[in-house]
Chains A and B, each alone.
Chain A
Amino acid sequence: MLVKNRMTRDPVAVSPDHTLAAAQQLTQEHRIRHLPVVSGGELVGILSDRDIRSASPSTVATDEPGRAEFLGRTSVAEVMTREVISAGATDTVEDAARVLCRHRIGALPVVDAANRLLGILTETDVLHAFVEMLGASNASTRLEVELRDRPGELARAVRIVGEDLRLNIGSVLVPPMRERGNKTAILHVATIDPREAIAALEAAGYRVGWPSLEADLRRPAEGPAR
């Protein structure tokens, strides 16, 4: 999944000569929190709504009319962040997410080789991408399979479900280990009836969760409904 497929193209941007008042109006109109700053076609900075809010003429609290007057005479260039952390269009979304986390920022302008602005990728875009990755896009059942952390374990489980039983596997996720030695794979399997898959995996020595390994609510022993 590449940044260019998830970013917003032609984002709302400002020039360094805009006033903060104009910039603030743009953030409110478009309900956005980040404005790339562009000059002569090139990305030269970024301005967040927080930068605007925290900009003030002095450390002394200013009253409303004073503040409006300040925003009206201060230029974007005076407040913007010049050292912009940006992304390339062909970076992966995973990379972009890591950068957002490491620098604790909310958005990455996306630029080409000549530093021209192509788009913007926000934390919301990244979250949407991950939500799609976590869920399977086609109708499926979610199974949890406990694996020992060694080569071939995941492959063997996938082979049982996908090859022996010929069920389509929509996605496989393996979150990091909670305890040393074991991990849990989450398989989205395209079937309404996973009983055969569960039985085959259990026969091969796997512990399988459906609905969940973590929920301690197992089905009751089948009692007669009399």
Chain B
Amino acid sequence: MKSALIWDPALTGYFFHPDHPFNPKRLELTVSLIEAMGLVDGGDHRVVPPRAATDAELLRVHSPEYVDAVKRMSVRCAAGEAWEWGLGTDDTPVFHGMHEITSLVVGGTIRAAELVMGGEVTRAFNVCGGLHHAHRDRASGFCIYSDLAAAISWIRETHGARVLYIDYDAHHGDGVQGIFYDDPNVLTLSLHESGRYLFPGTGFVDELGDGEGFGYSLNLPLEAFTEDESWLDLYRKLLPEVAEAFRPDVIVLQSGCDGHTLDPLTHLRATTRLYEETTRITCEVADRVCGGRVVATGGGGYSVWRVVPRAWTLVWAALSGQEAPDAIPFGWLSRWQGESPDLLPERLRDPEGAFDPVPRRDEIEATNRRTLESLRRQALPLLRGWGLGF
């Protein structure tokens, strides 16, 4: 099986400022770890550069007014204008050249989709993509344009394929859900920490879609402090049912790794093993229902040194069907340790017992099971066409 890692050092230009949590250092670290572990070889598993998205590709999912505004502010920002487009905030500040660099991020995910849909590779991973909070006409939560929505709409328009979008970033994938909320050909499934406390405050089970797309937006909000075992249990039960009912032609995966215990922006309690396992499960389902086709992206992940490179190296290994040894090469550790504020872990997979157990585990797991049942009860009949007589 062939796979492509979309990468070019230019992608680190998606950079707000040095104190901003969305730090492109994590991309550089991830790609260098993947390379150091020999998980790209220039043959079946190769690095492919992105291309810039065209205006037409952006305009499939963003309003012309918004794209114009981003282009204008990319050159010169008039005071006061940014705010109405969700820009110029602490979360998503304006920066010079943001239109061009975000177009390259978007084009990277479209490139990944081109390679997969054209049959050149079975899996592709744009580690820089995953901007799932961008809306049709508004930036939000570090995201300016939606590479995910643009790639999905490219797939829809070019191949007429049915797309299953899976999002396991710790934050709800509100932007992608919103853009396809009434579209029955794009099923969005987001697993995330409950919006009760966490940004963006949405993604509850009763958000099921609208109009013809009713039943095609699925959300599984997890309790704060959910650990690997409960998360995997729910995912193993839900994904096969959803995929078999929907019968997608391709899976688009946002694999944000900010649900990790060490992540400073969320309260989930995952280990890096979760990201390896969820990606494996996703690929197995893809093998069964859609010829193995998966277009994957990165996403959130704010423990830049200790988590992101390890989590996404495991995601890449699982996507490309390679076995990643546990030991992180000494050369990689010595290259980066001096720059890292924390001691770098020496293994890809967090060992059992690496983190303190959660006191109310039983309660959290029981609540998660109830949430799953509520989602299955509401959504599966709709997906299987038993709901409203069509």
Min CB–CB distance B300 → chain A (angstroms): 8
Q: Hey, which chain A residues are within 8 Å of B174, CB to CB?
A: 139
Chain B contact residues, majority secondary structure:
loop
Which of B49-57, B243-251, B349-357 makes up part of the contact surface?
Answer: B349-357
Which of A7-15, A37-45, A65-73, A188-196 makes up part of the contact surface?
Answer: A188-196
Given the interface pairs A192-B171, A211-B224, the reply to whether A135 lies near B346 with Cβ below 8 Å is no
Q: Is the CB of A140 within 8 A of B360?
A: no
Min CB–CB distance B184 → chain A (angstroms): 25
Q: Does A224 lie at the interface of the complex (its beta carbon under 8 Å from any beta carbon of B)?
A: yes
Q: Is the CB of B90 within 8 A of A191?
A: yes
Q: Is the CB of A226 within 8 A of B354?
A: yes
Bitwise interface map of B from 346 to 380 toward A, beta carbon under 8 Å scored 1, else 0: 11001100111011100000000000000000000
Interface residues of B in 193-207 (CB under 8 A from A): 196-202
Which of A81-89, A101-109, A145-153, A214-222 makes up part of the contact surface?
Answer: A214-222
Given the complex of chains A and B, what is the CA–CA distance between A167 and B225 in angstroms?
Answer: 26
Q: Does B133 lie at the interface of the complex (its beta carbon under 8 Å from any beta carbon of A)?
A: yes
Q: Hey, which chain B residues are within 8 Å of A165, CB to CB?
A: 90
Q: Does B264 lie at the interface of the complex (its beta carbon under 8 Å from any beta carbon of A)?
A: yes
Q: Is the CB of B197 within 8 A of A190?
A: no
Q: Hey, which chain B residues are within 8 Å of A141, CB to CB?
A: 197-199, 201
Interface residues of A in 169-204 (CB under 8 A from B): 188, 190-196
Q: Is the CB of B199 within 8 A of A139?
A: yes
Given the complex of chains A and B, what is the CA–CA distance between A14 and B199 in angstroms?
Answer: 47
Q: Is the CB of A193 within 8 A of B265?
A: yes
Bitwise interface map of A from 114 to 151 toward B, beta carbon under 8 Å scored 1, else 0: 00000000000000000000011001111000000000
Given the complex of chains A and B, what is the CA–CA distance between A166 and B356 in angstroms?
Answer: 36
Q: Is the CB of B343 within 8 A of A224?
A: yes
Q: Is the CB of A192 within 8 A of B142?
A: yes
Given the complex of chains A and B, what is the CA–CA distance between A135 and B194 in angstroms?
Answer: 13
Min CB–CB distance A137 → chain B (angstroms): 9
Q: Does B41 lie at the interface of the complex (its beta carbon under 8 Å from any beta carbon of A)?
A: no
Q: Is the CB of A223 within 8 A of B358?
A: no
Given the interface pairs A192-B171, A224-B345, the reply to whether A139 lies near B90 with Cβ below 8 Å is no
Interface residues of B in 296-339 (CB under 8 A from A): 306-307
Q: Does A206 lie at the interface of the complex (its beta carbon under 8 Å from any beta carbon of B)?
A: no
Min CB–CB distance B8 → chain A (angstroms): 26
Q: Does B157 lie at the interface of the complex (its beta carbon under 8 Å from any beta carbon of A)?
A: no
Min CB–CB distance A163 → chain B (angstroms): 14
Given the complex of chains A and B, what is the CA–CA distance between A100 and B275 in angstroms?
Answer: 50
Q: Hey, which chain B residues are within 8 Å of A222, CB to CB?
A: 262
The residue that A139 contacts in the complex, of B133, B225, B355, with Cβ under 8 A, is B133
Min CB–CB distance B92 → chain A (angstroms): 9
Interface residues of B in 129-145 (CB under 8 A from A): 133, 140-142
Q: Does A60 lie at the interface of the complex (its beta carbon under 8 Å from any beta carbon of B)?
A: no
Q: Hey, which chain B residues are within 8 Å of A196, CB to CB?
A: 90
Q: Is the CB of A212 within 8 A of B197?
A: yes
Given the complex of chains A and B, what is the CA–CA distance between A225 and B271 in angstroms?
Answer: 9
Q: Is the CB of A190 within 8 A of B196?
A: no
Q: Hey, which chain B residues are within 8 Å of A139, CB to CB?
A: 133, 140-141, 174, 199-202
Given the interface pairs A139-B202, A193-B265, A222-B262, the reply to whether A210 lies near B91 with Cβ below 8 Å is no
The residue that A142 contacts in the complex, of B21, B197, B345, with Cβ under 8 A, is B197
Given the complex of chains A and B, what is the CA–CA distance between A24 and B87 in angstroms?
Answer: 55
The chain B residue with its CB closest to the CB of A223 is B355
Q: Does B261 lie at the interface of the complex (its beta carbon under 8 Å from any beta carbon of A)?
A: yes
The chain A residue with its CB closest to the CB of B350 is A225
Min CB–CB distance A48 → chain B (angstroms): 28
Q: Is the CB of B90 within 8 A of A142?
A: no
Min CB–CB distance B278 → chain A (angstroms): 18
The chain B residue with its CB closest to the CB of A222 is B262
Q: Is the CB of B91 within 8 A of A191?
A: yes
Given the complex of chains A and B, what is the CA–CA distance between A224 and B310 in angstroms?
Answer: 14
Q: Is the CB of A224 within 8 A of B342?
A: yes
Q: Is the CB of A217 within 8 A of B198?
A: no
Q: Is the CB of B199 within 8 A of A192?
A: yes
Q: Is the CB of B133 within 8 A of A210?
A: no
Q: Is the CB of B201 within 8 A of A142?
A: yes
Q: Is the CB of A192 within 8 A of B200?
A: yes
Q: Hey, which chain A residues are within 8 Å of B354, CB to CB?
A: 223, 225-226
Q: Is the CB of A217 within 8 A of B225?
A: yes
Q: Is the CB of A225 within 8 A of B89?
A: no
Q: Hey, which chain B residues are within 8 Å of A142, CB to CB?
A: 196-198, 201
Given the complex of chains A and B, what is the CA–CA distance between A72 and B268 in angstroms?
Answer: 61
The CB with the most chain A CB atoms within 10 A, among B141, B201, B265, is that of B201
Q: Hey, which chain B residues are within 8 Å of A215, CB to CB?
A: 224
Min CB–CB distance A207 → chain B (angstroms): 16
Interface residues of B in 234-282 (CB under 8 A from A): 261-262, 264-265, 267, 271-272
Bitwise interface map of A from 26 to 64 toward B, beta carbon under 8 Å scored 1, else 0: 000000000000000000000000000000000000000
Q: Hey, which chain B residues are within 8 Å of A188, CB to CB?
A: 201
Given the complex of chains A and B, what is the CA–CA distance between A53 and B291 in angstroms?
Answer: 59
Q: Is the CB of A211 within 8 A of B196?
A: yes
Min CB–CB distance A218 → chain B (angstroms): 10
A to B CB contacts below 8 Å, 25 in the list: A135-B201, A139-B133, A139-B174, A141-B199, A141-B201, A188-B201, A190-B89, A191-B89, A192-B199, A192-B265, A193-B265, A212-B197, A212-B224, A216-B360, A217-B359, A219-B267, A220-B261, A220-B356, A222-B262, A223-B356, A224-B306, A224-B342, A224-B343, A224-B345, A226-B345
The 6 tightest CB contacts between A and B, nearest first, are A139-B200, A211-B197, A192-B199, A192-B141, A220-B356, A141-B199
